[in-house]
């Protein structure tokens, strides 16, 4: 299966994903794995960044598609509904799950806006992730998180729970829905209003 964690910067995607991947003995594919190649090679604001990112993503997703179906992937993103590029990124995740013929379980991590703005300022984020709370607040005001409208989706508030507890809750959800899971298909492209 592919377990996809989506949420705003600062919600704890990578921290939760690392713990979840350990619990599931899964391969972790976080969004920075792909973005960092393009950002470091082309620069954050260089127009060449996006074509390079797309080439890196295509190569990485092809390699992932070729992995044994028995492997589980935990993936992360910060995808919003209003951005065409981010809806396209979701289509690529769905296509990867379809190519592998495996279930795709969306997990949307959320937290209180003031908590998110506080978390993005942590020192360990500097140089690699968004650290400006004003930029994050503007993002939250301007858009909504992408939420596939499928029954296996889990929405989880991380405002007051530890990352280990969030990973345990996701694992419990996976166990609860496992008998209902079918391989990913076009229904995953329908987004909640």
| Residue 120, in any domain of the structure | no
Q: Is residue 23 a part of any domain in this protein?
A: yes
**Backbone phi and psi for residue 84, each to the nearest 5 degrees, phi listed first:** -60, -40
Is 85 contained in some domain?
yes
Task: State the pLDDT at residue 61.
Answer: 97
Q: How many domains does the chain have?
A: 1
Reported as a single tens digit per residue, the pLDDT across 127-156 is 778 888 899 999 999 999 999 999 999 999
**Sequence-separated (6 or more) residues with CB below 8 Å from residue 51:** none
Residue 139: inside a domain = no
Are β-strands 27-29 and 154-157 bridged in parallel, bridged antiparallel, or unpaired? unpaired
Q: At what angle do helices 31-42 and 49-65 cross, to 10 degrees?
A: 140
Range list of β-strands (E), the chain: 2-7, 27-29, 73-77, 104-110, 154-157
So what's the pLDDT on residue 120? Answer: 87
For residue 193, the model assigns a pLDDT of: 76
pTM: 0.94
CATH of residue 10's domain is 3.40.50.300
Residue 81 lies in a domain: yes
Q: Pick the closest to residue 131 from 6, 5, 9 (CA basis).
A: 9
Within-domain flag for 130: no
Give the model's pLDDT for residue 125. Answer: 81
Residues of the chain with pLDDT under 50: none
**Is residue 69 in some structural domain?**
yes
Residues 22, 74 contacting (CB under 8 angstroms): no
| Structural domain for 168, as ranges | 2-113+145-189
User: Residue 187 corresponds to which tokens in the numbers above?
Assistant: 């229904």
Would 126 be classed as within a structural domain? no
């Amino acid at each position: 299966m592919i377990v996809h964690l989506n949420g705003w910067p600062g919600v704890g995607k990578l921290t939760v994903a690392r713990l979840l991947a350990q619990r599931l003995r899964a391969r972790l594919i976080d969004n920075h794995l792909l973005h960092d190649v393009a950002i470091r090679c082309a620069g954050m604001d260089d127009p060449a960044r996006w074509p390079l990112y797309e080439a890196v993503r295509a190569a990485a997703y092809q390699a992932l598609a070729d992995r044994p179906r028995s492997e589980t992937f935990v993936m992360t993103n910060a995808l919003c509904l209003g951005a065409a590029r981010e809806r396209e990124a979701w289509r690529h995740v769905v296509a990867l799950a379809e190519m592998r013929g495996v279930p795709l379980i969306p997990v949307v991590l959320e937290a209180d806006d003031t908590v998110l703005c506080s978390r993005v300022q942590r020192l360990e984020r500097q140089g690699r992730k968004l650290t400006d709370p004003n930029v994050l607040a503007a993002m939250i005001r301007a858009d909504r998180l992408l939420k596939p409208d499928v029954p296996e989706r889990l929405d989880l508030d991380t405002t007051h729970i530890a990352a280990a507890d969030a990973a345990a809750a996701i694992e419990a959800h996976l166990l609860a829905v496992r008998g209902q899971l079918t391989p990913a298909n076009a229904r995953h492209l329908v987004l909640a209003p």
